[in-house]
Amino acid sequence: MNLLVKGITIADPNSEFNQQKVDLRVEGGKIVAIEKQLSPLKNETVVAADGAILSPGFFDLNCMIGDPGLETKEDLQSGTAAAKAGGFTGIAVLPTTKPVVQTKGAVEYILNRAKNNLVDVHPIGAISNDLEGKELAELFDMKNAGAVAFSDGSKAIADDGFMSRALQYALGLEGLLMVYPENKSIAGKAQVNESKNNVLLGMKGIPALAEEMQLTRDIYLATYHNAPIHISQISTAGSVALIKKAKKDGLKITCDVAAHQLVFTEELLNDFDSNYKVKPPLRSKADNKALIAGLKDGTIDAVASQHRPHEIEFKDVEFEIASYGIIALQTVLPLLLQAGLDADLIAEKLAINPRKLLKLEVPVIGIGATANFVVYHPQQEWEYNVNNNRSKAANSPLLGKTLKGKVQLVYNNKQFETYE
């Protein structure tokens, strides 16, 4: 279906039209015209988007979808519906399903289930069998089947020797390991950040040291093997400093941060709201500032949703026994705007860099290019509620809140969807 989007400002650092206010026409899945003023044609859908931003479609590096086996949390249909509504035209889905995505067949299952969708779905294979950190999963077969990277989700790999072997094996495959930084022996069973606040809460705290020690180990191992490594979901100022130095030293290291870690702080836990229970835990305002600075200076490569859907019985319980995580695909954009990121930086960290990290084609807003974009109003307010929540789950502290930054349109794979 042909489409004309009027009155948008392009936000794409790779485009010759970047920062220009234009109209844009799509025919047959291709961008065929970008001009100051375009008149509507017959049989063309016209979207008036005055004041809106048009960016390459967002891509999420860290998304949990329950298919296969945990579809009561989220299935591919509901997960991609939430992704679309959040401006995502591509997602990389974690292997934390039941059974774990650790074989060629499991990768092929996801790819077949996700065919003909507006949202591109890319499986991430497990690093270890059953996410236990003991035996390597079928990395070679999974990569050949279409796995874009390997991860054990939010389970850190404790065994140093196993991590060393995994890096060495992945290097031979030109595969990317995405690892979660937590030293479990330091973190223990604590569930909140270690600070004055955790003492007031009467709960044990996870020190920043737990994250930074694990990160240091992974830096040493990646240096030893001269192997690329991606650190998922950093949360501390110390981690930003360690990665900044590693990059300066020439290490092939990349990292991402969850959008909520840029805005939420540990003080939000004072009412023991389990919807704020995440892993890594919410940290301090100083950590927020360091993470935002790390995005702006290039230390942090990408922002991820860390979408973690759960049934009500896993979250509407006492804080200590509640599961970790929030649903996040529809709220990443408002949080990034709240954190003060401009349109070009959002495009870089949420659309361009995530695809670069996985060696996927990066959409460009240009004449003749394949159409893959999101249109959003950075100033438009909307209420996130049970009626417009596309996820099966409802574990978000932002439900019922008024947010600023509204997705109006997504286009990909010759399909588009609009949102009022």
Residue 42 has pLDDT above 80, yes or no: yes
Q: How far is CA 420 from the centre of its chain?
A: 24
Backbone torsions φ then ψ of 102, nearest 5 degrees: -140, 10
- Indicate whether 42 belongs to any domain: yes
pLDDT of residue 290: 98
Please indicate, yes or no, whether residues 106 and 231 belong to a single structural domain of this protein: yes
Together in a domain, 261 and 331? yes
Give one word for 44, left, alpha or beta, with left for phi > 0 and alpha for psi -120 to 50: beta
What is the distance between the alpha carbons of residues 93 and 78, in angstroms, rounded to a whole number? 13
Q: How far apart are CA 287 and CA 265, in angstroms?
A: 9
Evaluated on CA atoms 14, 15, 18, 23, the torsion sign reads: negative
Shared domain for 179 and 103, answered yes or no, is: yes
In a domain, 151, yes or no: yes
pLDDT for 72 equals 96
CATH number of the domain bearing residue 260:
3.20.20.140
By residue range, what is the domain housing residue 406? 2-54+367-418
**Residue of 69, 164, 170, 87 whose CA lies nearest to 403:** 87
40 and 186 in a single domain? The answer is no
Q: Within a domain: residue 381?
A: yes
Inform me whether the pLDDT recorded for 201 exceeds 90: no
The residue ranges of DSSP E strands in 208-367, in sequence order, are 229-231, 253-258, 302-304
Q: Give 196-220 as a DSSP string.
A: HHHHHHT--EE-HHHHHHHHHHHHH
CA-based nearest residue to 312, from 401, 393, 397, 400: 393
The encoded tokens of residue 126 equal 């497990």
Q: Which residues pair with 414 in a beta bridge?
A: none
Q: Among 310, 339, 357, give the residue marking a domain's end.
A: 357
Q: What is the pLDDT of residue 273?
A: 94
Asked whether the predicted pLDDT for residue 111 surpasses 90, the reply is yes
- Is the confidence at residue 1, as pLDDT, over 80? no
Q: Answer whether residue 412 shows pLDDT above 90.
A: yes
The answer to whether residue 346 sits within a structural domain is yes
Residue 183's pLDDT is what?
97
Which of the listed residues 357, 375, 402 is the one where a domain comes to its end? 357
Dist. CA 89–CA 95, nearest whole Å: 20
Same structural domain for residues 42 and 78? no
Residue 301 lies in a domain: yes
With tokens 């870089």, the residue in question is: 348
Question: Where does a domain end: 307, 339, 357?
Answer: 357
Residue 248 included in any domain? yes
In this structure, the answer to whether residues 140 and 203 fall within a common structural domain is yes
Sorting pLDDT into bands at 50, 70 and 90, what band is 200? Answer: confident
Residues 121 and 226 in one domain: yes
9 closest CA partner among 411, 378, 412, 406? 378
β-pair partners for 27: 30
For the chain, what is the domain count?
Answer: 2
Asked whether residue 107 falls in the same domain as residue 241, the answer is yes
Quote the pLDDT of residue 184: 95
Measured in whole angstroms, the distance separating CA 130 from the mean position of its chain's CA atoms is 23
Same domain, 253 and 190: yes
**362 lies in a domain?**
no
> What mean pLDDT is predicted for residues 167-177?
97
Whether 34 and 135 map to the same domain: the answer is no
Kindly report the average pLDDT of the chain as a whole number.
97
Q: What pLDDT does 289 receive?
A: 98
Considering the domain architecture, whether residues 66 and 103 belong to the same structural domain is answered as yes
Looking at residue 406, which CATH number applies to its domain? 2.30.40.10
Domain for residue 159, yes or no?
Answer: yes
Which pLDDT band holds residue 420 (cuts at 50, 70, 90)? confident
Distance CA 225, CA 208 (A): 26
pLDDT surpassing 80 at residue 298: yes
Residues 147 and 252 in one domain: yes
Using a pLDDT cut of 70, give the percent of the chain over it: 100
Q: Which of 25-29, 129-133, 196-200 has the lowest mean pLDDT?
A: 196-200
pLDDT at 46 over 80: yes
